[in-house]
Structure 1
Amino acid sequence: MHDDDFLALVQDLRRFGGDLSDVEVKRAHEKLPKSTHETLSAFANARGGVLILGLDEKSGFQAVGVRNAGKLVADLGSYCSEFEPPIRAVISTRTFESVDLIVAEIPETLPADKPCHLKSMGAYQGSFIRVGDGDRRMTQYEILALMASKGQPKEDLEPVPGTSVDDLDAQLVGAFLEQLRARRPYRYADMEDHEALRRMRVLIKDDDGRERLSLGGLLALGEYPQEHFPQLMVSFVHYPESGGGSLQSGERFLDNVALEGPVPVMVRDAMQALKRNMKRRAVIQGVGRTDVWEYPEVALREALVNALVHRDLAGHARGAQVQVSMYPDRLVIQNPGGLFGAVTIDNLEDNPPSSARNAVLMDILQDVPVPGTGQSVCEKRGSGIQDMLQALRAAHMGPPAFTDRLASFKVVFPNHTLLDGDTVEWINSLREHGLTNSQCIGLALLRSGESLTNPRYRAATGVDSRVATSELQDLVARELAVQEGARRSSRYRLHPALDAAAARASAPAESKPQRRKDRTEEILAALGDRTLSRVQIEAATGLPRPTVLRWLDRLKRQGLVESVGQSRNDIRYRRTGQQRLDEPI
């Protein structure tokens, strides 16, 4: 870990006054704390993290140091080998504020090897997970879910006792076979109906040799799957307030319906329930006006299909429903079971490899049309998230927030249009020349109260990772945003001087244009008659690195500052003695 990254971590800890989701601090002056195994396991079972020994959280993260750094490094390295699988941590000592600290970077365990646990305690007692800034023991359900994900789940291939071909929906089967023969003529064009259902594993033999419906076949084409699995359904609730029911009126919900039937029917009925409860808004296009739904239909449909097709069908998860909850400010779709296979939150928005938890169910549904439409339930594999994000961008709406837990996956759609008239006027009032369209989208998200990460910025704008990093750093340099954290934990928030909530509450009807503060005098005063490095100028002014670099570049162009030094790591800056010339900010 670089010095700048470590310093940023400590600054964040001191500013927030507590541990971070991927950073844990322990005093550990004499020896490893008893809870060390919890943190090591939790980080390894999540996305990894950083463990710092020698900072005291109770005293505001004061650097108290460790007494015998060499011994503690050896003890921690030995302790990491006592896990299953072993934790390959990168452990180093660091002198900070005149004391020795130990920094351990804990990598994420490969999905196929989770849960990472202390061998002496066993998987069910020694497996932990990170929740917020703390560690908790994993539940039995979470451990079972992890173990089930080590191979291809087979639940959708299970024969359902007491079922037969008579339990299939005749209309769905007819549409399925017609589409199957049209799309896969080489194998199915001349195949008899019953044999085609067997080959597609809609029908399967049980241990006694009797032909039954597979669970995947029942869910895709069954007349009423809930007769056998009552909770494999969708619950839809529309709440009157953002917190749920209304305390003032006593109204618990505006609409509440249980959506049952096979997956194609549940998709159709869930979309109808959403449309019944959604509002329409007018969008001006050219010389005309178009009415559109609050949320793009494509985005909602993809989220619904993903929730139904990729939900966990294991026995311990069959008591949980897919839940659709509508609030005035957001729409939430949640399903049992987290992301499966190679798909992670980090690559979810970057066209990840297709990874199907329920491969048989998905194989069937790609040839089953949603009733009343000619569109298959799973029309394209692996592109659902991209279609969702593209539809939201086209509607100038923010990307959904994805939350992946071992036991569930949740998608939250915010109910707001980013570039409305008020927001465009606010961005124009900043008088910042040269902002890109994607930076304007980013500013709109920041103004709405969101914090941005590199992946979320990419999801909202469609730019690649390199451009996202450059544009976010430019917003920091312009003092439109502030950066918190370093490396993958970096988050960007609206600059305090531009706090949107305060501005809306106090600004007059016609707010005056806002200009960024001129930092020329601060930089020149910090330099004085000295020659300083960029880091020294940051310390003297309290300005972030991107802002310092931006103004140094401006002052060099004006001839007020010059750089000296032979290498990139040895560059320093000094005043030239030339008088300042005004330049537009």
Structure 2
Amino acid sequence: MQDEELAEIVENLRLLGSDVSDVEVKKAEGGLPRSARETLVAFANTRGGTLILGLDEGADFAATGLSAPAKLSSDLAAMCATDIEPPLRPHIGIHDFEGGQVLVAEIPELPPDRKPCFSRGAGITQGSFVRVGDGDRRLTSYEVQLLLANRGQPHDDEAPVPGTGIADFDPALVATLLNRLRTRRPYAFGELDDIAALRRAKALVTADSGTVVASVGGLLALGSYPQEHFPQLMLTFVHYPTAEGANTETGERFVDNVVAEGPIPVMVRDALLAVRKNMTRRSVVRGAGRADVWQYPEAALREAIVNALVHRDLSPGSRGTQVQVEMYPDRLTVRNPGGLFGPVTEERLGEEGVSSARNATLLRLLEDVPWPGGGHAVCENRGSGIRTMINALRAARMSLPEFKNRVSTFSVTFPNHTLLGEETVDWLNSLGEHGLSESQCVGLAILREGGHLDNQTYRTETRVDSRVATQELGDLIARELVVQTGNRRWARYRLAPSVLPATGAASGVSARRADRRREILNALAEGERSRAELAAATGLTGQTVAHWLRILRSEGLVEATEEKVRNPGTRYRRTGKIALGEEGEA
């Protein structure tokens, strides 16, 4: 890590006022803190991170310095090599910072096939941690076992279910599956009888007793009633009356409560029926007109529910937990046991070619099992479910879902709002800004709805590249529509106070921003000035000065003293043309 990077990290920690998920600060006055071991393990089990020793969080991250930095570095390296399993090899450096010396250790995330990382002294069950917010949380026994299982390809969907057989399957689903297998994959299934074909597809497997029984995946894909053997391998839908859940004032616990049972195709159908029953329709602006649409696009909901049922953890420790769909006035969440599996991460969800299946056999079966009453398979478009979800939300002008990946759970949350509904369009029009791109309007709408925005989120939501995102966000700052906090990878954006929607205001804007023409022109009345000199004279940011200079040049009120206006040293002067409103001042 370079000194400049360290300074940037500390500056942003001071802005935030606390540690963050990937940075931990400790004073280390008495030597290497014992808690450092937990932090090292947690970083390795999560997304990696940076440990800084020699700063005091309680004193605005002031540099307290280290009495023996070289020894501390040696002790930390020894801890990583001998006290932690598997051993870690962080990059450790000592930096001069604000009059003291600090130690910086950069810890990479371990690959899935080496997790969990744990403290040898405490053991794998008590010594495994993950990073949650700005703290370290001990993993539960179930989470540890889940990480161990994820080191390879889990086969819980192929586990035999004693006391079952082909009689536990739905005959119609079996007939359709076998017909599709023999038609689509004749080399593997064309010459096999029904039992042999189901065994090759691993819907039927051999139990320890030597008898042929249904597999867990076979029951979930084809079973007439899988919950007879696994009561909690179902889906629950609950519609809550308030954003917090039950209404404590009226005592109303829920608006609707539905249990979806049966094989996965039936559970998906019944879950969608329950959601549709509880959804309302609303108007959105499309082109020059309006259209009535459902609160949530059904294609996005279907993919989220299918993914939750197909990719849930099926290990014995999780078979008592159901897939949950929760509807609130402001959001809808789909949650399943078991986090993401394999190389897939939250950041890479939806990327082309990024796909991994925890339950490969179940997924393969559902590629040839149809929807009830339909001809399309449940998982017909393998590997494209998240992209389908995202595209459906974009088409509906809605915010993209929030994905939350934990070791033991994974959830998808859909915000209940349309980004460019009538109210938002009216608010955008009330800003009086001309020349905003559609992607900039989407970015402003996200901030208006309370969402957060950084460069990556902006690119994901608007589908523009990094160069365009940087340029458009800079333009929004220059227009004084948004303000930036932090720098580089820490940069975050929020609405400027002057454009925050005012409660009850007809226009939707609390106050109009000032027209900066007069300030720029007054500063130029004394002679030529550069952008930096104008910024110093007016108190405006350099981006805002550049924005209004472009406007004044287009109006013929200001001109550059040279052709290369992109040069920061270029100077500007008034043209002598009288600005509107100046006539009476002469």
**Are 1:104 and 2:102 an aligned pair?**
no
Aligned partner of 2:25 in structure 1 is 25
Q: Could you state the TM-score of these two structures normalised by the residue count of structure 1?
A: 0.88
**Are 1:255 and 2:288 an aligned pair?**
no
Greater shift in the superposed pair: 268-277 or 417-426 = 417-426
- Distance in 1 of aligned mates of 2:4 and 2:503: 36
> How far 1:24 sits from its partner (Å)?
1.2
Greater shift in the superposed pair: 57-66 or 137-146 = 57-66
> How far 1:559 sits from its partner (Å)?
6.3
**Are 1:232 and 2:233 an aligned pair?**
yes
Q: Is the 8 A contact 2:285 2:422 kept in 1?
A: no
Q: Is the 8 A contact 1:234 1:323 kept in 2?
A: yes
- Distance in 2 of aligned mates of 1:563 and 1:384: 52
Deviations 1:19-69 (A, max 9, x none): 112221111234222211111111111111222222211222222222333
Equivalent runs, 1:155-174 vs 2, <5 Å: 155-174=156-175
Q: 2:512 aligns with which of 498, 511, 514?
A: 514
Instruction: Give the letter aligned to residue 228 of structure 2.
Output: E
- Distance in 2 of aligned mates of 1:95 and 1:580: 51
Aligned partner of 1:567 in structure 2 is none
Aligned partner of 1:120 in structure 2 is 121
Deviations 1:180-202 (A, max 9, x none): 23332443345422222121111
- Distance in 1 of aligned mates of 2:81 and 2:169: 53
Task: Give secondary structure in 2 for the equivalent of 1:100.
Answer: strand
- Distance in 2 of aligned mates of 1:554 and 1:286: 28
Equivalent runs, 1:261-280 vs 2, <5 Å: 261-280=262-281
Aligned partner of 2:503 in structure 1 is 504
Aligned partner of 1:332 in structure 2 is 333
Task: Give secondary structure in 2 for the equivalent of 1:345.
Answer: coil
Instruction: Give the letter aligned to residue 316 of structure 2.
Output: G
Q: Is the 8 A contact 1:325 1:333 kept in 2?
A: yes
Task: Give secondary structure in 2 for the equivalent of 1:347.
Answer: coil
Q: Could you state the TM-score of these two structures normalised by the residue count of structure 2?
A: 0.87
- Distance in 2 of aligned mates of 1:102 and 1:533: 40
Aligned partner of 1:175 in structure 2 is 176
> How far 1:245 sits from its partner (Å)?
1.2
- Distance in 2 of aligned mates of 1:563 and 1:26: 53
Q: Is the 8 A contact 2:284 2:418 kept in 1?
A: no
Instruction: Give the letter aligned to residue 95 of structure 1.
Output: D
- Distance in 2 of aligned mates of 1:204 and 1:533: 75
Q: Is the 8 A contact 1:240 1:254 kept in 2?
A: yes
Q: Is the 8 A contact 1:478 1:547 kept in 2?
A: yes
Greater shift in the superposed pair: 491-500 or 227-236 = 491-500
Aligned partner of 2:42 in structure 1 is 42
Q: Is the 8 A contact 1:399 1:456 kept in 2?
A: no
Q: Is the 8 A contact 1:563 1:572 kept in 2?
A: no
Task: Give secondary structure in 1 for the equivalent of 2:348.
Answer: helix
Q: Is the 8 A contact 2:283 2:421 kept in 1?
A: no
Equivalent runs, 1:137-216 vs 2, <5 Å: 137-216=138-217
- Distance in 1 of aligned mates of 2:351 and 2:575: 47
- RMSD of Structure 2 on Structure 1 (CA): 3.6
Instruction: Give the letter aligned to residue 31 of structure 1.
Output: G
Q: Is the 8 A contact 1:556 1:562 kept in 2?
A: no
Task: Give secondary structure in 2 for the equivalent of 1:19.
Answer: coil
Instruction: Give the letter aligned to residue 504 of structure 1.
Output: T
- Distance in 2 of aligned mates of 1:2 and 1:433: 42
Instruction: Give the letter aligned to residue 41 of structure 2.
Output: S
- Distance in 1 of aligned mates of 2:515 and 2:93: 41
Greater shift in the superposed pair: 434-443 or 146-155 = 434-443
Task: Give secondary structure in 1 for the equivalent of 2:347.
Answer: helix
- Distance in 2 of aligned mates of 1:538 and 1:87: 49
Greater shift in the superposed pair: 463-472 or 238-247 = 463-472
Q: Is the 8 A contact 1:5 1:486 kept in 2?
A: no
Greater shift in the superposed pair: 545-554 or 1-10 = 545-554
Unmatched 5+ residue regions in structure 1? 565-570
Aligned partner of 2:367 in structure 1 is 366
Paired-residue identity, % = 53
Shift in CA distance, 148/475, structure 1 to aligned 2, threshold 3 Å: farther
- Distance in 1 of aligned mates of 2:22 and 2:325: 30
Aligned partner of 2:351 in structure 1 is 350
- Distance in 2 of aligned mates of 1:325 and 1:341: 27
> How far 1:371 sits from its partner (Å)?
0.3
> How far 1:430 sits from its partner (Å)?
3.0
